[in-house]
Amino acid sequence: MTENRVISLPENEDVKSNNEEVLENRPETLFTYFTIGTAFLLIMVGGSTVVWSSPAVVKMKLDDPNENPLGKPIEAVELSILIGLPTVSGLLGCFIIPKLADIVGRKYTLLAIGSVWLLSLIATSFSRNLIMFTSFICISMALQAASFAAVPIYLTEICQHHSRAKLGCILCVFIPIGELITYLVGSVFSIRDFTLIIASPLVVFLVLFHLAPESPVYSLTKGSVEECRRSLKKLRSNKTEKELNIEYDQIKESLDLQEVKSEFVILTLLKSKEGRFGLLLGTIPIVIQYLTGATLVLQLMGPIFDEANTFAGNTIAIIVGIAKVCCFLLASFLVERTGRKPLLIISCVGTGISTAVLSVYFYLNYINDPVIEDLKLLPLIAVLFFIMSYSMGIGPIPLAVISELFPSHARSVAMSFILMFCGVVLTVYNSSYPILDEYAGTHWCFFMFSFFSLLGAVVIYFVVPETKGKSDAEIQQILADY
């Protein structure tokens, strides 16, 4: 399979050098940024959807029927269902829907996701019982998982490889932006109104994304040479015709060398050494990301920190949302300078320390220790440090790196496989948390987050390779030699 990733260039060294300069040093065009930014609206709505439960659960715990559409406070088992079942639906979304990208194309798959998602969120806003809320949030979470798998594939195939990591981290910035929007509007508006507000970017997406081109890589895989050339011309308007021909030839040659039977892609990956290690190394950072507890903390920020008896949970959520956006932006500029691996290790250590501090605080609160009155600022400081650490590495980098590990013909299947497996981990985690929190205490949950974060740092140090500045062929060679 390694040989299938080699992109052959002309033998003449002068030509080769010139080609590399053309393909690696040209900036992305404004139209490319417009296209990418429009696709990132799906990621932003995904961030809003993931933390929808944070302000929603706060309202669902109230006795006031004007605030709580359920009419009565939600119970622990009901809460477990509300945050657990949508994660299961996410497994189907990340496994089935992205496969459409190989059938109908990247562009029309994303448009289909946006259309159904909009209808689902509108239905959620008018729900009045647990079954309706759970059903429509399940649909939304399936589409969120699908978008998190499909958008990075589209991004990888329309941008130049020297821009992948930076744009991949910027993609991840849209996740906390979406989360911040939910925290802001969710603390002010009713469940119906804030759900409609977080759905509104999908209207913009559906209008503007019709102007986006199909992925040139996908077009060429389907034998549509003219569409591939048109897409390249739109995306690379700062290149000459000769330069466009060079890029087209390299895409074509790369695809020619990657030919496999598409229906057996996952079997092909499992049979080859680089495929197996690609799946393993793509899975490890995502699993560690979930085990740090970040997903649960963000989903239940409001109710968790209401329990801390300091600041209001929604207030902390808004402060955290702002900090997360800033740190994700900073990470997008650091990732190509420092590399992926150092940021991932530092990030895991930081999340481990901060959740350990929170574990101690929640324990002191649990036993009603009087010293807790002098530590009111500690949860805010610790959670800000947690979010800063998470946002500088283990948050944005795993999703940005996964698509680098696989050739173009295998990306959608590999992404779906990895996200499906990780979704199983997240489902168990999410479903168990409300019950574990109820019977063991919040302090034990945060101790568990701390342990897995520090363990993750050790695993990344010894197992995960650095891919900074590596081409597709070089990454495949690293996996083959692993």
On whether residue 6 sits in a domain, the answer given is no
CB 274 within 8 A of CB 401: no
pLDDT tens per residue across span 184-208: 898 889 999 999 999 999 999 999 9
Determine contact, residues 346/465, Cβ cutoff 8 Å: no
DSSP letters spanning 376-400: TTHHHHHHHHHHHHHHTTTTTHHHH
Cβ count within 10 A of residue 465: 16
Query: Residue ranges of the alpha helices (H) in 126-200?
Result: 130-158, 164-186, 191-199
Over residues 285-311, the mean pLDDT reads 74
Spatial neighbors of 38 by CB under 8 A, at least 6 apart, are 204, 205, 208, 209, 211, 212
Helices and strands in the chain, H and E counts:
24, 0
Reduce the secondary structure of 211-224 to three states and give it as a string. HCCCCHHHHHHCCC
Rounded Cα distance between 104 and 106, Å, is 7
One-letter amino acid at 85 equals L
Helix then strand then coil, in percent of the chain rounded to 5, is 80, 0, 20
Which of the residue ranges 242-256, 301-315, 403-417 has the most confident prediction, judged by mean pLDDT?
242-256
> Quick one: tokens of 169?
């981290």
Tell me the average pLDDT across 362-382: 84
Cα 458 from chain centre: 23
| Residue 260: pLDDT band with limits 50, 70, 90 | very low
Tokens of 290: 């979930």
Question: What is the extent of the structural domain holding 379?
Answer: 25-212+265-480
Give the H/E segment covering residue 369: none
Q: With 70 as the cut, is the pLDDT of residue 25 above it?
A: no
Structural domains of the chain, count: 1
Q: In the prediction, which pLDDT does 469 show?
A: 67
> Taking every pair of C-alpha atoms in the chain, what is the biggest distance, in angstroms?
76
What SS3 class is residue 249? helix
- pLDDT of 254 strictly over 60: yes
Residue type, 325: V
- Out of 69-78, 173-182, 245-254, pick the least confident: 245-254
344 domain-assigned: yes
With 50 as the cut, is the pLDDT of residue 23 above it?
no
One-letter amino acid identity for 298? L
Any domain includes 3 = no
pLDDT (average), residues 383-396: 84
Q: Give the chain's mean pLDDT.
A: 81
Q: Distance (Å, rounded) from C-alpha 451 to C-alpha 317?
A: 24
Token pair listed for 246: 């060079």
**Greater model confidence, 11 or 244:** 244
CATH number at residue 45: 1.20.1250.20
Specify whether the CB–CB gap between 159 and 32 falls below 8 A.
yes
Average pLDDT value for residue range 229-234: 89
CA dist 319 and 310 (Å) reads 14
The answer to the question of residue 16 being in a domain is no
Whether residue 256 is contained in a domain is answered as: no
Contact 325, 317 (CB under 8 A): no
Residue 426 is assigned to a structural domain of this protein: yes
Q: What is the pLDDT of residue 270?
A: 77
Span 449-467, average pLDDT: 91
State yes or no: pLDDT of 263 exceeds 60: no
Phi first, then psi: give them for residue 475, nearest 5 degrees: -65, -40
The first and second tokens of residue 198, run together, are 């977080």
What b/e sequence results for 172-198 when a residue is b if at least 16 CB atoms lie within 10 Å of its CB, and e otherwise?
A: bbbbbbbbbbbbbbbbeebbeebbbbb
Q: How confident is the model at residue 18 (pLDDT cuts 50, 70, 90)?
A: very low
> Poorest-confidence range of 59-63, 233-237, 433-437?
433-437
Tokens 């996908």 sit at which residue?
218
pLDDT tier at 457, thresholds 50, 70, 90:
very high
Does the pLDDT at position 400 exceed 90? no
Structure tokens at 480: 């083959």
Residue 239 lies in a domain: no
More confident residue, 238 or 181: 181
Single-letter amino acid, residue 161: H
3-state class (DSSP) for residue 132: helix
In a domain, 417, yes or no: yes
Q: The tokens of 465 are what?
A: 């390779």
Q: Please give the span between the terminal C-alpha atoms of the chain, in angstroms, as a whole number.
A: 14
Sorting pLDDT into bands at 50, 70 and 90, what band is 311?
Answer: low
Please, are residues 444 and 436 in contact by the beta-carbon 8 Å criterion? Answer: yes
Q: Residue 390 carries which side chain, given as an amino acid letter?
A: Y
